[in-house]
Amino acid sequence: MEYEILKVLKAADTHVSGSALGESLGVTRTAIWKGIQKLREEGYAIEAVNNKGYRLLPCEEPYNVMELKEGLKTHRLGKQIYFYKETDSTNLRIRALGEENAPEGTVAVAEIQRAGRGRREKYWESPFGTGVWMSFLLCPSFPPTEAPLLTLVAGLAVCKAIRKQTGILAEIKWPNDVLVNGKKVCGILTELNGEIEQIRSVIVGIGVNVNMDLFPEALQKTATSLKIENGGQSISRKKIFQSVLEEFEPIYEDFLQQGFASFSDEYKEMCCTLGQQVNVICKEPFEGQAVDLTPQGELVVRKDNGEEVVVYSGEVSIRKQEDA
Ligand code: BTN
C-alpha cells in the first residue's frame, strides 16, 4: 500500500489530500495515514498540512524495492527483487530462493550483511547503508567449466557501471576485482549449484563499496569506496545497483551466444593486470609478467625465463613498482 501512496506523491507537484489519496487507491484515510507513517519510517520526508494534505519533500535517497525497481531498464534481471534490511549473506538468500525455484534473474539485496562472504572463505565487510550488497540467480545451460567466465562478465559490468555513473576510472584486476587507484572497490563471489556435468544455477554475488568514509584498519591500505574516490561526495547506490544489472544483462546475453570473444576486447581494455609484474599465489607460487588472456579468459603469465604459464583461477597480486 505504501508504495502506491508513494507513486501518487511522486507524480504530484503539490499536496494531495488524504481523502483524494484514499479515493484513488480505494482505501480509508486511516489506511493512508498508516501508509504515510511507514514511508516516513523508511526515510521519506513527507509533509502534512491541514486542509491541504501530504507532500513529498526532497530527502536523502531511500533504498528499497520500489526505488530499486523504478526505472530499471533490464528484461530479466531484477524482475523479482528481495530486499533485506538485514541478512546473513545475499548469496545465501539467493541459494535458498533458487532451491524454492525462484526464476532466473531474481535478485537479493541487503542494507547490511551480518555474514558477508568473500572468496577463499574470507569475511566480507558489509556495513549498513553504505554499499551495494547484492546477488542474483542465473540458470545458464552451458557446462560448469564455463562458469568462471561469469565472474569476468560481472567484473566488466561493474567496471562499466562505475565509469558511467561516476566518471571514476575503475579498472578490473583479473579475474574479478574492481579497483580504483589500485584499491579494491568491489568484490565478486560466483558460486555454482549443480553437478559435475550440469549447472543447476549460478549465484553471482557483488559487493560494491559505495559510500563508506572509513575502513577497518586491516583494510585501509587495500580497500576504498566510490565516495572516497569522489572527493567525499556521496554516490547514489540506486544508480550503481541499477547500472550494474543493466550493464550485466547484455554482456551476459552476448556471452551465451558467442562466448568470451564477445567481450574479451572490452575486458582487456579495462583490465589493469595486463602488462604488470604479478605474483601468482598457488601451490607453487611464481612471478612473471601478465601478458594476455586466453580465448577462455585465463591469464597468461610470462616467467623471467620466457616460459608462458596459463593461470586458470586463483589469486594474482600485482607487484608494486618498488618491489618489482
Ligand atoms: C571477494 O572479493 O572476496 C568477493 C566478495 C563478494 C561480496 C559480495 S557482497 C554480496 C554478496 N553476498 C556475499 O555474502 N558476498 C557477495
Pocket of ligand 1 (CB under 6 A): 89-91, 113, 116-119, 122, 124, 126, 133-135, 177, 187-189, 205-207
Check whether 196 has a pLDDT greater than 90: no
| For the CA of 115, the nearest atom of ligand 1 | 14
6-25: average pLDDT: 90
pLDDT digit string (tens) for 212-223? 999 999 999 999
Host H or E run for residue 247:
helix 237-258
Check whether 322 has a pLDDT greater than 60: no
The answer to whether the CB of 108 falls within 8 A of the CB of 133 is no
pLDDT digit string (tens) for 65-96? 999 999 999 999 999 999 999 999 999 999 99
**Nearest-10 Cα torsion for 300, 302, 303, 306:** 140
Q: For residue 273, count CB atoms less than 10 angstroms from its CB and return exposed for 0-12, middle for 13-18, buried for 19 or more.
A: buried
Check whether 321 has a pLDDT greater than 60: no
pLDDT tier for residue 323 given thresholds of 50, 70 and 90: very low
Strand order in the sheet with 107-110: 81-84, 107-110, 131-138, 199-209, 183-194, 177-180, 171-173
Q: Of 190 and 283, which is predicted with more confidence?
A: 190
Check whether 98 has a pLDDT greater than 50: yes
pLDDT digit string (tens) for 18-30? 999 999 899 998 9
> Which residue's C-alpha comes closest to atom 3 of ligand 1?
118
The answer to whether the CB of 200 falls within 8 A of the CB of 99 is no
| For the CA of 88, the nearest atom of ligand 1 | 14
Cα 168 from Cα 184, distance rounded (Å): 13
pLDDT tier for residue 319 given thresholds of 50, 70 and 90: confident
Q: For residue 114, count CB atoms less than 10 angstroms from its CB and return exposed for 0-12, middle for 13-18, buried for 19 or more.
A: exposed
Q: What's the chain's average pLDDT?
A: 93
Q: Of 251 and 11, which is predicted with more confidence?
A: 251
Instruction: Please give the radius of gyration of the chain, using alpha carbons only, rounded to the nearest integer.
Output: 22
pLDDT tier for residue 320 given thresholds of 50, 70 and 90: low
CA of 266 to the centre of ligand 1 (A): 24
pLDDT tier for residue 58 given thresholds of 50, 70 and 90: confident
Host H or E run for residue 177:
strand 177-180
Of 322, 317, 234, 221, nearest to 278 (Cα)? 317
Q: HSE (CB half, 13 Å, CA atoms) of 34?
A: 6
Specify the pLDDT at position 284: 83
- Of the listed ranges 91-95, 167-171, 280-284, the least confidently predicted one is 280-284
The DSSP code for 188 is E
CA of 313 to the centre of ligand 1 (A): 17
Cα 256 from Cα 273, distance rounded (Å): 25
pLDDT digit string (tens) for 108-167? 999 999 999 999 889 999 999 999 999 999 999 988 989 999 999 999 999 999 999 999
Cβ neighbours for 305, distance < 8 A, ≥ 6 positions apart: none
203-227: average pLDDT: 96
Cβ neighbours for 87, distance < 8 A, ≥ 6 positions apart: 93, 108, 110, 112, 113, 114
CA of 192 to the centre of ligand 1 (A): 14
Task: Kindly report the pTM of this predicted structure.
Answer: 0.90
CA of 69 to the centre of ligand 1 (A): 22
Cβ neighbours for 216, distance < 8 A, ≥ 6 positions apart: 125
Check whether 281 has a pLDDT greater than 80: yes
For the beta carbon of residue 91, count every other beta carbon within 10 angstroms: 26
